[in-house]
Amino acid sequence: MDTRGDGPAMNTRGNGPAISDAPVLEAVGVGVRFGGVRALDGVGLALRPGEVCGLIGPNGAGKTTLFDALSGIRRPDGGRVLLDGTDITRRSPVWRARHGMRRTFQRQQLFGQLTVADNLVVAQEWRGGGGGLAADLLAAPTRRTYEKERRERAAEVLRSCGLDALTGVFAGALPVGQARMVELARAVADPPRVLLLDEPASGMTAGESSQLAAVVRHLADTEGCAVLLVEHDVAFVMRLCSRVVVLDLGRVLAEGTAAEVHADPRVREAYLGTATV
C-alpha cells in the first residue's frame, strides 16, 4: 500500500509495521583507489527499508570494497555515504554499528572458544551493563538483569534461525554452513536497520541456504531491515532479492529486478555467462 502524503512516502509489507520508502543507506558517487587500481569508480546505490538487494559481479568487481566503504572500514577517496540522508562518510565502523548497521564478512569471524549462545550475548554487550564498570565487576543486580535479557534475546534469535540445538556448542566446532548461520544470528542479535551480508550462503547445504533465505526475508518483511548481500550463487540471489545491482570493474553495470538483470545482455556478457544460474 502506498500512502504518499505530506510526510515521507510510506508503505507496508507483509504483516510488518509501516515502512518508509526513503533510502536508509546510500552510496553517492563512491570511489576507492588502490594505487593505480580503481576498485570503485563513482558508484551509486540506494537501499530502502524492507528490501533485500543483491550485489553481484565478477571477481575483482569491487563488491567487498563497496561493503568496506559502506561499513566504514575503508574511507572512500571520492563520493559520500549517507545514513537516513545524513553524511556518515567520516564516521567510524563502531558509530555505524551503534546506529543500526551490521555486517558479516567473507571470512568467518565467530569467537570459536565461546558457545553459540555466548557469541550472541557478546554481540549485545556494546550497550553496556547498566551501572558502569563497577556494576559489571560486582555483578550488581542491574548487570544481572541485562545479562538475563541478553540470554533470552540470544535464545529467541537462535530459535528463529533454527539453531536452538546448537546453543551450548563451541562455535569453533561447527561445520561451515552452521557457522555461517550463527554469524547471521549474531549480526541480528541486536536488531539491525541495515544488514550487509558478504557471501552468507557460501559453504551451506541447500537446506541451510533455504533457511538463511527465510530468515533474511522475515527480517526485511516484518522488521523493515534493509539487506544488501553479496553472493556468488546467482540462483540464490535471483530467488531471494527483490532488486539486484551488478558491479563490473568498479562501476554499476546494471540494476533492476532479478528478471531484468537476468535478461540484460551486458550482464550476461560480463558475468552471467560464466556463473551458475
Ligand X SMILES: Nc1ncnc2c1ncn2[C@@H]1O[C@H](COP(=O)(O)OP(=O)(O)OP(=O)(O)O)[C@@H](O)[C@H]1O
Q: How far apart are CA 176 and CA 192, in angstroms?
A: 23
Q: Which is nearer to ligand X, 185 or 261 (CB)?
A: 261
**Shortest distance, CB of residue 227 to ligand X, whole angstroms?**
17
Print burial letters for 75-100: b (CB count within 10 Å at least 16), e (below 16).
Answer: ebeebebbbbeeebbebeeeebbeeb
63 versus 150: smaller Cβ distance to ligand X: 63
Q: Which residue, 7 or 35, is less far from ligand X as judged by CB? A: 35
The least distance separating ligand X from the CB of residue 107, rounded to whole angstroms, comes to 11
Q: Which residue among 24, 25, 27, 39 contacts ligand X (CB under 6 A)?
A: 39
Q: How far is the CB of 61 from ligand X (least distance, A)?
A: 4
In whole angstroms, how close is the CB of 195 to ligand X at the nearest point?
18
For residue 1, what is the DSSP state?
-
Q: How far apart are CA 188 and CA 182, in angstroms?
A: 10
> Which CB sits closer to ligand X, 39 or 195?
39
Contacts of 83 (CB under 8 A, 6+ apart): 24, 25, 96, 99, 101, 194
- Cβ neighbours of residue 269 under 8 Å, at least 6 residues apart? none
The DSSP letter of residue 223 is H
Q: Which of 62, 72, 192, 200 binds ligand X (CB under 6 A)?
A: 62
* 57 interacts with ligand X by CB under 6 A: yes
Return the range that interacts with ligand X (CB under 6 A); candidates 59-67, 126-134, 175-183, 200-208: 59-67
From 17-25, 63-71, 111-119, 129-137, give the range in contact with ligand X by CB under 6 A.
Answer: 63-71
Cβ distance to ligand X smaller for residue 9 or 277:
277
Which DSSP category does 33 fall into?
A: E
Helix axes 176-188, 141-160, angle to 10 degrees: 130
CA–CA separation, 252 and 267 (whole Å): 11
Q: Which stretch binds ligand X (CB under 6 A): 57-65, 77-85, 107-115, 233-241?
A: 57-65
Rounded CA-CA distance 192/184 in Å is 11
Q: Does 95 bind ligand X (CB under 6 A)?
A: no
Among residues 57 and 129, whose Cβ is nearest to ligand X?
Answer: 57
For position 61 contacting ligand X by CB under 6 A, the verdict is: yes
Q: Which is nearer to ligand X, 18 or 37 (CB)?
A: 37
Spatial separation of the C-alpha atoms in residues 145 and 142, rounded to whole Å = 5
Q: Which three cell numbers stand for residue 161?
A: 534461525
Whether the Cβ atoms of residue 99 and residue 84 lie closer than 8 Å to each other: no
Q: Does 64 bind ligand X (CB under 6 A)?
A: yes
Applying CB under 6 A, the residues found at the interface with ligand X are: 34, 37, 39, 57, 59-65
